Amino acid sequence: MSPRIAVTGRIPSAGLDLLHEAGEVVAWDSLDVPSVEQVHDMVRGADAVLTLLTTKVDAAFLDAAGPRLKVVANVAVGYNNIDVAACVERGVVCTNTPGVLTDATADIAMALVLMATRRLGEGERIIRSDAPWQWGMFYMLGSGIQGNQLGIIGMGDIGQALARRAKAFGIRIAYSNREPVSPRIEADLGAKFMSQDELLSTSDVVSLNCPYSSATHHLMSTDQFRMMRPGAFLVNTARGPIVDEAALVEALRSGQIAGAGLDVFENEPAVHPGLLQCENAVLIPHLGSATQETRAAMARLAAHNAVNVLAGVAPPTPIPLPST
Ligand code: DGY
């Protein structure tokens, strides 16, 4: 009997083609996000499921899928939508898509650094609103970044790719991470390892590039914004709930920090109403990996992961098992 493969959102054909060669595919064929009930109907009796980050994989999902399920292949590098421990308990392999979206996401982080520090969102809004404007010596001055310090929290692949870009802009790199990266990488990037508190109090721009988990929930809240330098900026391309959005709004309103560039939001797709009022916040709708090439590569890698597990072969990019 050929394996049954469910896909809980529309994905590029590069991934679907691989799946069709491996089994009978049931794929959600709409750009709307399916409801929980629709997901559960789709995954019933599946041997493999490809999930988007809008799909919650929890005990109810696993109950709905049933005992045949062997693999949950997330079409994303972040996997906070998956209860990995619950999957492991039932012998279900979980995989994600690291690597293929590193450059696209680092590009967006660098773009947000520039947009926030040079007030580009604000400038665009002025032109589009048809308000009068005129070049002026003191008109809409931003903050220069050359020689400034970018503090990267989370020096994995994306953090390092951002550091390479920032170095080319003449920016000094500081980082905090669970462990220092290798001396060779530090030397290549000219990156200095420091505690998170030191990074917050010395950086001109702080970029969040760490995974979301209970340990990083509200990693940036009132106390952390207080540690940041007045005139500093925050950029988040990781996951929304790493930032306490109410505290961020307060820090932006009070001038505690100068601005923010956000690609992700605490209660996505909802955006804190206070942020919408902050001229000094650049807000974009979770576009980190949103290029045609990257999304095709993500779909292909997720399909490859699923097909390998179904064939009894190790998947290329398994999610590390939770530590006990
Ligand atoms: C990911 O892969 O985790 C990204 O957030 C999706 O764009």
Q: Are residues 66 and 165 in the same domain?
A: no
Q: Are residues 123 and 265 in the same domain?
A: yes
Q: Are residues 112 and 203 in the same domain?
A: yes
For residue 21, CA distances in Å to 24, 57, 207, 223, 316 come to 8, 25, 41, 53, 18
Q: Quick check: is 322 in a domain?
A: no
Among all chains, which residue has been given the structure tokens 């399920």?
A: 69
Domain count, the chain: 2
pLDDT given at position 324: 56
Residue nearest to atom 3 of ligand 1 (CA): 78
Residue nearest to atom 6 of ligand 1 (CA): 76
Q: Quick check: is 177 in a domain?
A: yes
Q: Are residues 160 and 233 in the same domain?
A: yes
Pocket test for ligand 1, best of 289, 300, 305 (most atoms within 8 A of CB): 289
Among all chains, which residue has been given the structure tokens 């995974």?
A: 211
Q: Are residues 120 and 234 in the same domain?
A: yes
pLDDT given at position 305: 98
- Report yes or no: 102 and 157 within 8 Å, Cβ to Cβ: yes
Q: Which domain holds residue 80?
A: 4-100+292-310
Q: Are residues 249 and 126 in the same domain?
A: yes
pLDDT given at position 323: 75
Q: How far is the CA of 296 from the centre of ligand 1 (A)?
A: 13
- Give me the sign of the Cα torsion angle 103, 108, 109, 113: positive
Q: How far is the CA of 57 from the centre of ligand 1 (A)?
A: 16
Q: Quick check: is 51 in a domain?
A: yes
Q: Quick check: is 175 in a domain?
A: yes
pLDDT given at position 218: 98
> CATH number, domain at 91?
3.40.50.720
Q: Are residues 168 and 44 in the same domain?
A: no
Nearest to residue 22, comparing CAs of 294, 321, 316, 312?
312
Q: Quick check: is 71 in a domain?
A: yes
What's the rounded Cα separation, in Å, for the pair 321 and 324? 9
* SS3 assignment for 125-180: HHHHCCCCCCCCCCCCCCCCCCCCEEEEECCCHHHHHHHHHHHHCCCEEEEECCCC
141 half-sphere exposure, CB direction, 13 A CA radius = 6
Q: Are residues 117 and 86 in the same domain?
A: no
Q: Quick check: is 145 in a domain?
A: yes
Q: Are residues 157 and 53 in the same domain?
A: no
Nearest to residue 266, comparing CAs of 237, 242, 238?
242
Residue nearest to atom 2 of ligand 1 (CA): 76
Per-residue tokens: 279: 């001229």
Q: Quick check: is 324 in a domain?
A: no
H/E element, 49:
strand 48-51
Residues 6+ apart with CB under 8 A from 124: none
| pTM recorded for the entire structure | 0.96
DSSP code, position 244: -
Q: Of ligand 1's atoms, which has the minimum distance to the CA of residue 286? A: 7
> Three-state DSSP class for 299?
helix
Q: How far is the CA of 289 from the centre of ligand 1 (A)?
A: 6
Q: Quick check: is 270 in a domain?
A: yes
Task: Output the ligand 1 site: residues, CB below 6 A.
Answer: 53, 76-78, 101, 288-289
Q: Are residues 194 and 236 in the same domain?
A: yes
Q: How far is the CA of 213 from the centre of ligand 1 (A)?
A: 15
Per DSSP, the chain holds a count of helices (H) and strands (E) of 13, 12
Q: Are residues 271 and 160 in the same domain?
A: yes
Question: Each residue's pLDDT tens digit in the chain (324 positions)?
Answer: 899 999 999 999 999 999 999 999 999 999 999 999 999 999 999 999 999 999 999 999 999 999 999 999 999 999 999 999 999 999 999 999 999 999 999 999 999 999 999 999 999 999 999 999 999 999 999 999 999 999 999 999 999 999 999 999 999 999 999 999 999 999 999 999 999 999 999 999 999 999 999 999 999 999 999 999 999 999 999 999 999 999 999 999 999 999 999 999 999 999 999 999 999 999 999 999 999 999 999 999 999 999 999 999 999 999 999 875
Q: Are residues 107 and 213 in the same domain?
A: yes
